[in-house]
Amino acid sequence: MHTDRRTTWFRVLAGAVLLSIVGCESAYYGAWEKLGVYKRDILVDRVEEASDAQLAAKEEFQSALEKFSSVVNVPDSKLKDTYESLSEAFEDAESRADTVSNKVDAVESVSEALFEEWQEEIEQIVNNRLRSASESQLRSSRKQYQTLIRSMRRAEAKMSPVLDAFRDQVLFLKHNLNAQAIASLKGELGAIESDVAALVRDMETSIARSQEFIDQMQLLGGER
């Protein structure tokens, strides 16, 4: 009985928290709309922010790769300094990756609100021609958005294996500050370089699609 009460209380609390979050988002969008800033504008801003975050992450991962690649030429006397440098590079890359994930989550959040509102407003249009035109516009925007968000998530997913490889190297070097450790790490660089190259390609594709989406949304004018 005590367990059942605890479970019920937890569900009530979780529901209250969810309603609070939804309410806060609704109030947030409502406040901006009163200032003439609509969900479409917020979506465009967030896509730009996500694109900027991906660009920064791409550059951070490339910089980290350069540092990891240079470790094979470091003398034993510099291994401790090298470890500290690589550890910092890994932490910077990890931080950039977290920022990318948060920005993409923010894009998804406002896009869901935008498309839901758009659909609800279409249902209020009586004129068949105008309603059909708006539905076509919505379908086109949704299709382009789905292409964009898949691209963003694909690039985001490519960061995890690279971060895992960086982390492995940092920890291995921490436990083995000697020439033998350096030799072992050298054999792993090829795979890491390949993963980073794939990550960079996906990041660049996502950044390009972000700009295409922004351009398309801005063509819609100020009605959303």
pLDDT one-digit tens code per residue, 202-216:
999 999 999 999 998
Length of the chain: 224
Domains of the chain: 38-223 (1.20.120)
Q: In this structure, what token pair is assigned to residue 166?
A: 């960086």
Q: Helices 2-34 and 39-70 sit at what angle, rounded to 10 degrees? A: 110
- State the pLDDT at residue 173: 81
CA distances to 14, 59, 168, 206 from 201, rounded to whole Å, are: 40, 12, 23, 9
Question: In 9-18, which positions are buried (b, 16+ CB within 10 angstroms) versus exposed (e)?
Answer: eeeeeeeeee
Torsion sign over Cα 31, 35, 40, 43: negative
- Most confident segment among 15-29, 67-81, 117-131, 175-189: 117-131
CA distance 99 to 91: 12
CA distance 46 to 214: 10
Mean pLDDT, the chain, whole residue set: 84
| Choice among 37-41, 121-125, 158-162 with the minimum mean pLDDT | 37-41
> What is the pTM (predicted TM-score) of this model?
0.80
Task: Please indicate whether residue 184 or residue 60 has the higher confidence score (pLDDT).
Answer: 60
Per-residue tokens: 197? 């190259």
What single string gives the DSSP state of each residue in 160-175? HHHHHHHHHHHHHHHH
Best CA proximity match to 21, nearest among 29, 50, 148, 114: 29
Distances (CA, A) of 219 to 77, 105, 137, 189, 222: 60, 24, 11, 45, 9
Q: For the chain, count helices (H), then strands (E).
A: 6, 0
Q: How far is CA 173 from CA 22, 115, 179, 193, 203, in A?
A: 46, 49, 10, 18, 29
